[in-house]
Chains A and B, each alone.
Chain A
Amino acid sequence: QKEVEQNSGPLSVPEGAIASLNCTYSDRVSQSFFWYRQYSGKSPELIMSIYSNGDKEDGRFTAQLNKASQYVSLLIRDSQPSDSATYLCAVQAGDTGRRALTFGSGTRLQVQP
């Protein structure tokens, strides 16, 4: 079983709709969770981080974390064609001091104009 699982997609949504991206992880003691966006041929860029159960909102983005279910999601409201990219879920181990991230394989999002 992969440590961080994502549906590879592509997830296709019309412009203006809500895109919902999901991620599950296997390490129960994971503490920090990140969503990175990666455009084709570019490097990953951080868009959201979340550490506590519940929702965290930043503009059109909302990250949701449920540690009991080992599940983290990203909602993108009012999706724009410029949101078309691969979204990587990353998990930071719960071991004290270990800073490395474990990434999922990414979900490709396509926003149709």
Chain B
Amino acid sequence: DAGVIQSPRHEVTEMGQEVTLRCKPISGHDYLFWYRQTMMRGLELLIYFNNNVPIDDSGMPEDRFSAKMPNASFSTLKIQPSEPRDSAVYFCASSLWGPVLESEQFFGPGTRLTVL
């Protein structure tokens, strides 16, 4: 299996521009998670999906952020308009359905976003 795939790996944009990050989870995984990592705040959950349905979006910082999962093999995280404070590494992770105690998450390589 190729693992979790994210694109682009690096994104540099200017303040006010729209940014779209993409994720392909591991085939067969039922859960998909979006995390953001910064030096100041560490690794924090933004949103997660189960069977393509958003379950918890309490970590989404504000209305500028939106996430979709149109099918089991694809998800997007969009920031519009982007701001310099959005600069971070964005990780996508996926896991299999199972008893809660066994739901190990596998992370993608991340997208490093820089907003100038």
**Residues of A in contact with B (beta carbons under 8 Å apart):** 31-32, 34, 42-46, 49, 51, 88, 92, 96-106
Contact = CB atoms under 8 A, between A and B. Distances in A.
Interface residues of B, number: 22
A101 B42 contact: no
Given A42-B109, A44-B43, A104-B42, A99 B31 contact: yes
Nearest to A36: B107
Contacts of A98: 56, 100
Given A43-B91, A96-B100, A103-B44, 18 more contacts: A32-B100, A32-B103, A44-B43, A44-B91, A46-B104, A92-B100, A92-B103, A98-B100, A99-B50, A99-B55, A99-B95, A99-B100, A100-B45, A101-B105, A103-B42, A103-B43, A105-B42, A106-B42
Q: Is the interface of A mostly helix, strand, loop or mixed?
A: loop
Contacts, number: 52
Q: Is the interface of B mostly helix, strand, loop or mixed?
A: strand
Interface string B57-87: 0000000000000000000000000000000
